[in-house]
Amino acid sequence: MRILRDFLILIASAALIWYLFTLIPSSKENTLSKLKIAQEEQLGDKLMKEIQKDPDFKLIENATLDSALYTIQQRLLHAMGTTEYEYRIYPFDNEMVNAFAMPGGNILVSSGLIQLAEKPEELAAVIAHEMGHVENRHVIYKLIKEIGLSILLTGDQMVLGEVSRVAGSSAFDRRQEAKADEFALALLEDAHIHPIVMASFFRRLSDEVGSYNEKMQVFMTHPHNNARIKAALEYKTDSSFSAEPIELDWTQIKMAVSHLAE
Amino acid sequence: MNNDVSYHSLPQPNEVSLREREDAMGAYLMMFAALAAGLPLPIINLIAAIVYLYVNKSKSRFVYYHSLHSLYAQIPVTLFNAGLVIWGIRLFFTDLAITDNFKGYVGVVIVANLVYFIFSIIAAVKARKGLMYYFVLFGKIAYQQAYMVKNEDTQAPVNRPPKM
């Protein structure tokens, strides 16, 4: 009997220790909770200034395109409801298929990606995915991990250059990508955009890899694209779901973008 | 515990020879070396512990008790460590998410190893002095196994012819 009692005591103490240790917040949460959204947005603004100096990220100023992106953004934000971030979508002139999120809700989309999208819904899917990274604070966490919080906040010019390079180049890990996809699929559904557009866009990207090759950048460098396509295809929309097309003249927008390239 | 179970009398410190004390102490200290060697594959130290037990089993009840005691105390620690290695490898190859459950588990493993380490040193010192030492649970099990009077102990062995 005593042996049984001792055994139970040991099991109970192990369980208690287990439980207590799960309560310790991870260093990631610690650093992130220290960094306020306002600070992140401040950093994001500085980085946007920095990144514009890079000829590869020359921002496009085009009224047609801006209003189109605004329409897409509003559709998504309306579906998202509340968010602490002030989103801004910047198109930049680069034939590579690329999209990435910078700290503070700034999302950059390349002209190459806009060209590849067959309809505005596909671009919305990409933007929704990037919003997923922002909302889950993946961007700022990646920077903290690779550069360090204290250095990040110095605002030094050299540092900013490095930060914008990291933000624009290195990929997220699989779990973060999956999380951003999950967020995007749900957001698309709420925005009355059929989540299947995500799969169709991914598939086109995969098919294009042969011809584009080096042009494929961050957005598709991460592995397991087939799994991601599958997840997007298998996403079950609510029975009451009805798709509403985004009213935009996509051909005209693509024309506007292609004129810039010439 | 049943009253009809009887136990061999415990040897007093002055009755335990130096050789026995050192062998008993070795049961604990030897586990440390094996635990360190077995770190990548935490099952190796269990094998070492079993070998040590069988080598020293016949020396005396005192040595047998301490070897068993050390072996039993090592089983949960080894299982915890093996679990951590497996979980860690799985995390590395699937996704790199450090969940709260994993953190908790790492905590349990660290505490278990620390407790095992500290109490094994205490036990080794006691054994060197010719003293008994009982861990929670494992002390009782090892004592029962080493000191309980079994039937075959009371009956003298008798040679019999084969049954024709």
* Closest-CA residue to B46 (of B84, B22, B73): B73
Smallest Cα distance from B103 to chain A, Å: 6
Rounded-to-5 percentages of helix, strand, coil across chain A: 70, 5, 25
Query: Number of residue pairs across A and B with CB atoms under 8 Å?
Result: 52
Chain segment B98-142, per-residue pLDDT in tens: 677 888 888 899 999 899 889 999 999 999 998 888 888 888 888
Amino acid A151 reads I
Chain segment B28-87, per-residue pLDDT in tens: 888 777 767 766 667 777 888 888 888 888 888 889 999 999 889 888 888 888 888 888
Smallest Cα distance from B98 to chain A, Å: 9
- Here the ipTM equals 0.76
Q: Does A7 touch chain B (CB under 8 A)?
A: yes
- CA A113 to chain centroid, in Å, comes to 14
Query: First-to-last CA distance in chain B?
Result: 42
Handedness of CA A45, A49, A54, A60 (dihedral sign): positive
Overall pTM > 0.90: no
Q: Which of A2, A9, A22 sits opposite B140 (nearest CB)?
A: A2
The answer to whether A22 contacts B112, with C-beta atoms less than 8 Å apart, is no
pLDDT band per the 50, 70, 90 thresholds, residue B155? low
Q: Alpha-carbon distance A109 to A97, whole Å?
A: 8
Q: Alpha-carbon distance A224 to A181, whole Å?
A: 12
Element (H, E) at A109: strand A106-110
Q: Where are the domains of chain B?
A: 13-153
The answer to whether B101 contacts A175, with C-beta atoms less than 8 Å apart, is no
Chain segment A116-137, per-residue pLDDT in tens: 888 899 999 999 999 999 988 8
Query: Are the CB atoms for A89 and A127 separated by under 8 Å?
Result: yes
Burial of A16 (0-12, 13-18, 19+ CB in 10 A): exposed
The answer to whether A19 contacts B104, with C-beta atoms less than 8 Å apart, is yes
Residues of chain A with pLDDT under 70: 26-34, 153, 155, 167-171, 209-225, 260-262
Query: Are the CB atoms for A110 and A90 separated by under 8 Å?
Result: no
pLDDT band per the 50, 70, 90 thresholds, residue B92? confident
User: Rg (Cα) of chain A, in Å, rounded?
Assistant: 21
Q: Which of B96, B103, B108 sits opposite A14 (nearest CB)?
A: B108
Best mutation target, B5, B93, B119, B136, to test chain A (most A CBs within 10 A): B136
The answer to whether A17 contacts B108, with C-beta atoms less than 8 Å apart, is yes
Smallest Cα distance from B87 to chain A, Å: 15
Q: Does A27 touch chain B (CB under 8 A)?
A: no
- Per the listing, tokens 């999380």 go with A179
Q: Alpha-carbon distance A189 to A191, whole Å?
A: 5
Best mutation target, B69, B98, B99, B111, to test chain A (most A CBs within 10 A): B111
Q: Alpha-carbon distance A193 to A127, whole Å?
A: 13
A7: chain B residues, CB-CB within 8 Å: 137
Q: Alpha-carbon distance A244 to A71, whole Å?
A: 13
